[in-house]
Amino acid sequence: MDLIYRMTRSGEPEVSRPAPEKLVSGDPVFTTWTVEDKDGLYAGIWQSTAGRWRISYDEWEYCHILEGVSVLHGSDGSRLEVKAGDSFVLRPGFLGEWEVVETTVKEYVIRV
């Protein structure tokens, strides 16, 4: 069993879109390369093209932006613009919208 993983965009990615009821604007396409999916821990690299959709978090997520620009809009009126080099944590209970301004690539670690 490997105990160390390198975050890479290798292998066959999963391609998806936000559910129609969550879509606010655009036609974002998500591409995800999963590195870890075990015991409630998920990690990998995620990419999205431009668009905006509603989000609701029941889990913790750590993100590190590798490329692009996105804006997170909290339902409480908060706004966080993130770009290459930025890191942040989304807590369970976060409600709002994710807006990709320029195609965004992030490394993520999710703990359920």
Q: How far apart are CA 66 and CA 26, in angstroms?
A: 22
Q: Is the pLDDT of residue 98 over 70?
A: yes
- Tell me the average pLDDT across 85-106: 98
Q: What is the mean pLDDT of the chain?
A: 96
* Domain annotation covers residue 107: yes
* Domain annotation covers residue 85: yes
> Please, which pLDDT band fits residue 10 given cuts at 50, 70 and 90?
confident
Per the structure, the complete domain to which residue 66 belongs is given by 28-111
What is the tally of structural domains in the chain?
1
* Domain annotation covers residue 1: no
Q: How far apart are CA 62 and CA 82, in angstroms?
A: 13
* Domain annotation covers residue 15: no
* Domain annotation covers residue 2: no
CATH of the domain at 33: 2.60.120.10
Question: Which pLDDT value is given to residue 106?
Answer: 98
Rounded to two decimals, what is the model's pTM?
0.93
- Residue 105: name the closest of 54, 68, 52, 72 by CA: 68
